[in-house]
Amino acid sequence: MKKIVIVGAVGGGATVAGQIRFYDPDAHIVVFDRDSTMSYAACGTPYVIGGVIEDERSIIMTDPEKFKKKRDVNVKLQHEVLEIDREGKKVHVQNLVTGEQFQESYDTLILSPGGSAVMPDVEGIESSKVFTLRNYEDMQRIDQFIKTQQPKNAIVSGGGFIGLEMAENLKHLGLDVTLVHKSPTIMSILDTDISLLIEKELALQGVKLLTGTTIEKTEGKTIKLGNGIDLQADFIIMSIGLKPNTELAEKAELNIGETGGIQTNEFMQTNDPSIYAIGDASENSDMVTGDPKRVPLASPAHRQAFIVAQHLTGNKLAKKGLLGTSVLKVFSLTAAMTGLNERSIKDKNLQSATVTHTGNSNAGYYPDHAQITLKVHYNPETRKILGAQCIGGKGVDKRIDVIVTAIYAGLTVDDLQALELCYAPPYSSPKDPINMIGYKAITK
């Protein structure tokens, strides 16, 4: 009987355990996680804080007892794996409640340790109320603070996914919100013109935005910025980045790649073939360029879990790479992207051309329609699509999903005009924005 030990019981870890059990009914599977909650939807935590999701327990998919009963998988929460003995094929584990330490043997080890929120070195930070949002317990702490202390204003530091989602949800609660971001524009994975549309939406919704600066010092509720501005805030949400949890892998002398993640091959194996790495802490390759890439999002983690389960049960299904497809709700806007943006294209010195189309999400005469802007980068010689971004009121996600499929299938930008997409007035137009990109590219 094969014994599989998994480190991490959230997205990637819980999924790979379930997937392996589906394909191998006889494997002995043990999962360790240092948190007190498993298999929760981390992406839902800002919406619990904002009161959009009323029952916080609804984002927990299962617990150790249910998982054992349904999947016959042993999950041990509040247990931290301290060390990997690669030669002896054992992990050294500590029970964080009792302090007891023990060893657990494995035939296969799967690392899904996730990442930790980056906390900057800020003078006086201990004098202020500061939170990060990385796990279920973080969510509960923020939620409890807001409900018991009834703060009036907040600063969100960092204009990425979590920062923007928290700004929206805190505003939804009626707080006065200021968003502080180090770079000149927010959402650095987007092109500047798309980011500026999000900034406009933030202003319309009453979120104050200060870019090109950071929190330099705090004195209780007085927050001093690097640009000389002083702000007042009852609390701060720090969301400036995510650091992959690679300490365990580093101690075991597993290779760490240039993105800071654990290097893996197309089957998610590390340089030790009996050890796999998935999720936020794993480094894969870019589907467009082949360069190292790390995407700390839920969808890649679930896909990686499937690949590992397939590989362990005899089906060598290789991963083709990552596109970094993502979508974000910011009040009335939706923004989505896939593949390379303008900055990465320039950094990699790639040949490129761009087609942009602004039009309606569906028939303009239909009452429920919105404006969307679709922007596609492509190689002008091969015509292959390098990346795309879309922003607007509705129908944004489905356009990017089509582009993702086109990239995966190897279609050219010119092929987009030929796609026979769904049309009815509530949903699209006879010439969908996707088709219009193809027509414009051929003309160009």
Inform me whether the pLDDT recorded for 444 exceeds 80.
no
Mean pLDDT, the chain, rounded, equals 97
Level-2 CATH architecture, domain 3-114+243-312 = 3-Layer(bba) Sandwich (3.50)
Instruction: Give the model's pLDDT for residue 259.
Output: 97
116-165 confidence digits (pLDDT tens): 999 999 999 999 999 999 999 999 999 999 999 999 999 999 999 999 99
- In the chain, what are the domain boundaries? 3-114+243-312, 119-240, 333-443
Confidence of residue 372 (pLDDT cuts 50, 70, 90): very high
Instruction: Give the model's pLDDT for residue 38.
Output: 96
Which residue spans within 349-444 are E strands per DSSP? 353-360, 371-378, 385-392
396-440 confidence digits (pLDDT tens): 999 999 999 999 999 999 999 999 999 999 999 999 999 999 999
69-82 confidence digits (pLDDT tens): 999 999 999 999 99
Domain range 333-443, its CATH number among 3.40.50.300, 3.30.460.10, 3.90.700.10, 3.30.390.30: 3.30.390.30
Instruction: Give the model's pLDDT for residue 95.
Output: 98
Characterize 29-62 residue by residue with b for buried, 16 or more Cβ atoms within 10 angstroms of its Cβ, and e for exposed. bbbbbbbebbbbbbebbbbbbbeebeebeebbbb
Instruction: Give the model's pLDDT for residue 286.
Output: 97
Percent of the chain with pLDDT over 70: 100
Tokens describing residue 152: 């009036």
Instruction: Give the model's pLDDT for residue 443.
Output: 86
Distance CA 343, CA 324 (A): 15
Give the 3-state DSSP-derived string for 167-178, with helices as H, strands as E and coil as C. HHHHHHCCCEEE
Closest to 110 measured CA to CA, from 265, 4, 1, 255: 4
Distance CA 315, CA 312 (A): 7
Mean pLDDT computed over 43-58 = 96
Level-2 CATH architecture, domain 119-240 = 3-Layer(bba) Sandwich (3.50)
206-218 confidence digits (pLDDT tens): 999 999 999 999 9
Q: Which of 43, 125, 419, 442 is catalytic?
A: 43
Inform me whether the pLDDT recorded for 255 exceeds 80.
yes
Cα separation values, 324 from 28, 168, 237, Å? 33, 23, 25
Same fold, 3-114+243-312 and 119-240: yes
Rg of the chain's alpha carbons, rounded to an integer? 23
Active-site annotation holds for 422: no
